[in-house]
Amino acid sequence: MIKRLTALLLVCVMFSALVCGCAKKPEEPTEYIGIISAMDNEIDLLLKEAVIDRVDTVADVKYHVGSLHGQPVVITRAGIGKIRAASAATAMMIKYPISKVIFTGIAGGVADETQVLDEIIATRLVEHDYGILSNDGFEWRSGDPGFGNEAGVYYDCDPQLVQLAYDAAVEVVGENHVFRGTVATGDQFIANSEYVQKLRSDYDCCACEMEGAAVAVVCIKYKIPFVVIRALSDKADGNAHESYENFGDTAADNSSRIVIKMLDAGGK
């Protein structure tokens, strides 16, 4: 009797192991949409709306893996500045199968016609602080001469993502508050009216920030389409710090809502 019970138990264990072994594990998506920001408040709304399956940590940077409005996503806060943005974007490209990248966040307004809480959809980006500083002053130079035009100084966003982001932004804040154009990147928080004039005259840009061009370079090297979405928290002038304190969170949430609208449209 005991031998029969033992044999029966053994059969049950083996059958259970066979069933478990044959059971399929949930398949991961073949591709993810990468969503990158610099600060926590720029992805807070996205994380609240998302279904997060797991959080991976790479070099102290957290990557939230899951879905957002039905689209598979990896969401990360890279940190402020070009070095941190490039590092986090590179790790994302290596670790996950990324189909496209959306950078979401806030910026300082540069163009005359823009106002605080307007949205800027970058058509291209430029590193305004890359060059040579000599006794004759600062001479702007290309960060990499191999990026598609003779000077190699502008990084173009994907036209389809630009259009998708623009249409989504119009839905969120209205057509009168959405602009397309050049965004200038540098490792400074600009709060100087004189420098804003220089950015406007030298690069004809709509906004300035601290990460976009760095992410653009990484995406171009990995051949990943990308777009940069920036909500204006200030005008990059002498009142920039005060304006940021008052409008930063609202601007960040507006930018996140645009990302959600893009995903609702299928993230195409």
CA dist., res. 192 & res. 138, Å (int):
17
For the stretch 67-103, pLDDT in tens is 999 999 999 999 999 999 999 999 999 999 999 999 9
> So what's the pLDDT on residue 26?
54
Question: Rounded to an integer, what distance in angstroms lies between the CA atom of residue 127 and that of residue 216?
Answer: 10
Are 256 and 43 contacting, i.e. CB atoms less than 8 angstroms apart?
yes
In the chain the domains, ranked by start, together with CATH numbers, are: 103-264 (3.40.50.1580)
Question: What's the N-to-C CA distance of the chain in angstroms?
Answer: 65
Cα torsion through 76, 82, 83, 84, rounded to 10:
-20
Q: Residue 237: what pLDDT?
A: 64
Q: What residues act catalytically?
A: 42, 234
What DSSP designation does 151 have?
S
Q: Which of 9, 222, 233 has the alpha carbon at shortest distance from 104?
A: 233
CA dist 53 and 88 (Å) reads: 20
Residues of the chain with pLDDT under 50: 1-3, 5-15, 17-25, 148-152
Return the residue matching tokens 């601290």: 210
What's the pLDDT at 126?
A: 93
Residue 84 CA to its chain's centroid (Å): 12
